[in-house]
Amino acid sequence: MIYLDNAATSFPKAPGVSARMCHYIDRVGASINRGVYAPAQEAELETLGLREKLCAFFHHPEPTRVLLTAGATAALNLAIKGSLHPGSRVLVSSMEHNAVMRPLVQLGAAFTRLPCDREGRLLLPEAEALLRQKPELLILNHASNVSGTVQDAEAIGKLCKQHHVPFVLDAAQSAGHIPVDFEGFHLSALALPAHKGLLGPQGIGALLVTEEFAAQLSPLIAGGTGSMSDSEELPPYLPDRFESGTPNLPGIYGWSAAMDYVNRTGISALRAHEAALTQRFLDGLRGLSHLRLAGPWEPAARVGVISVDFRSMDNAEAADRLEQEFGILTRCGLHCAPAAHKTLGTFPQGTVRFSVGYATTQADVEAALAALRALK
C-alpha cells in the first residue's frame, strides 16, 4: 500500500503518538479540573503543556487563549458562529473549504468572495478594495486542500490590520507543512487540526485567538467546566468559557507527543522533505498530456497537495484503478470545496488528489508517476 492522502489525514502518525494515548487510557484515566489527586494533576499539566507548545510553535503569546476544540471544523464554527450574526458582512476567498462556507450559509451571513486567479492565488488589489468597505471579518484558507496553493497570509494580514478588519486563518492544510506566524500574520484567530500536518490524532484541534477577538466571541456549547461550580453562568475567563464538558484527553496526550516530534524534526526539515517530493512529482507530470494539473507548477507556491484531472477517463475510475492495480491510495471528487474547483476550472468533474507527508518516500512518488503514465 502507498498512502498518498495526507491532506485528508496524516498516516502514519508521528512516532510516540499512540504510546502516549495508551498511557493516558491505561495509566492515567482522570479528567482535568475535576480532582486534585495525582492523575488529575498530571492530565492538567499535560493539557497546559500542549497549549504552551502550540503557542511557541505558532508564535502566539498566551496559553489561556488556546481554545481546544474537536478539530479545525469545530474551531472555524466557533470563530464564525461565535462572532457573527445573520446578515454579517464577511470576506472569504474563492478557494474556501466547506468548513467555512457551510457555517456562513447556515448562519445567513452576507459573504463576498475575494477573487483568485486560475491557479487559486488571491488577487491582492481586489482584496484591498473590498477591505475598504469595512467587512466584519475576513476568513482565508491558507493552503488549498484541492491544489495546494498557498496564500500570502502575511500580506493579507497587513491589509486587515490597516483597515481594522479581524482576520481568521484556516490553517488546516498549512500547519506543520509551512511556517504559520500568529503575530506576524496579524491574526485575530487561527484554526488548527491536530491530525494533518501536525501528525496528531483525529478528533482534536484548536482555535488560537487574540484578547480582542475572544471578547466578542460567544461560546457555542455551555456546561460544566469544573470551575465556578457555585454558578449556573459560564465562567468569564479563558479557556474555561469555551471548553465546557470533558475534554478529549487521549487526543491531548497524542497531540502533545506529535508536537514533540514536529519540534524535534523542525518545520524547515519537514517543509524541505515535502517540497523535494512535490518538485519530483510536478516534474514527472510534465509531458503527460492526458492529465491536467490544478494549481501552480512552482513547488514554492504550494504545499504537497497535487491534484490532476484525467482527460482520458472519469476521475473516480482513475482513483479506483490506482488502488486496485497499483495499491496507491488517493482522494477523488470535489474535496468538500466546490468553490475551489470552480476557481480552478475542475468543477463538476473534480480531480484525483495526491498528497505527500513526512513518511512519503521518493519511491512512493516514482510509483505514483509510473501508474499515472500507465493510466492513459
- The ranges of the chain annotated as CATH 3.90.1150.10 are 2-10+266-374
Looking at residue 97, its pLDDT comes to 98
Domain 2-10+266-374 sits in CATH 3.30.1360.120 = no
Specify the pLDDT at position 376: 84
Return left, alpha or beta for 141; rule: phi > 0 is left, psi -120 to 50 is alpha, else beta. Answer: beta
Give the C-alpha separation, 3 to 98, whole Å.
24
Residue range(s) in the chain whose domain bears CATH number 3.40.640.10: 17-265
Q: What is the pLDDT of residue 87?
A: 98
Q: How far apart are CA 95 and CA 338, in angstroms?
A: 8
The type of residue at 154 is E
**Residue 50 grid cell:** 500542549
Confidence of residue 194 (pLDDT cuts 50, 70, 90): very high
pTM: 0.97
Indicate the fold that domain 17-265 takes in CATH: Aspartate Aminotransferase; domain 2 (3.40.640)
Nearest CA among 133, 144, 123, 118 for reference residue 345:
118
Judged against a pLDDT cut of 90, whether residue 371 lies above it is answered with: yes
Give the pLDDT of residue 91: 98
> What's the rounded Cα separation, in Å, for the pair 128 and 120?
17
- 280-297 pLDDT, tens digit each: 999 999 999 999 999 999
Residue 144's alpha-carbon distances to 150, 251, 336, 345, in angstroms, are 7, 25, 11, 14
Q: Kindly report whether the peptide bond that precedes residue 235 is cis, defined as omega within 30 degrees of 0.
A: no
Q: Tell me, what's the pLDDT at 59?
A: 98
List, for residues 14-46, the tens digit of each pLDDT value. 999 999 999 999 999 999 998 899 999 999 999
Mean predicted lDDT score pLDDT of the chain: 97
pLDDT, one tens digit per residue, over 322-365 is 999 999 999 999 999 999 999 999 999 999 999 999 999 999 99
Among residues 180, 195, 184, the alpha carbon closest in space to that of 21 is found at 195
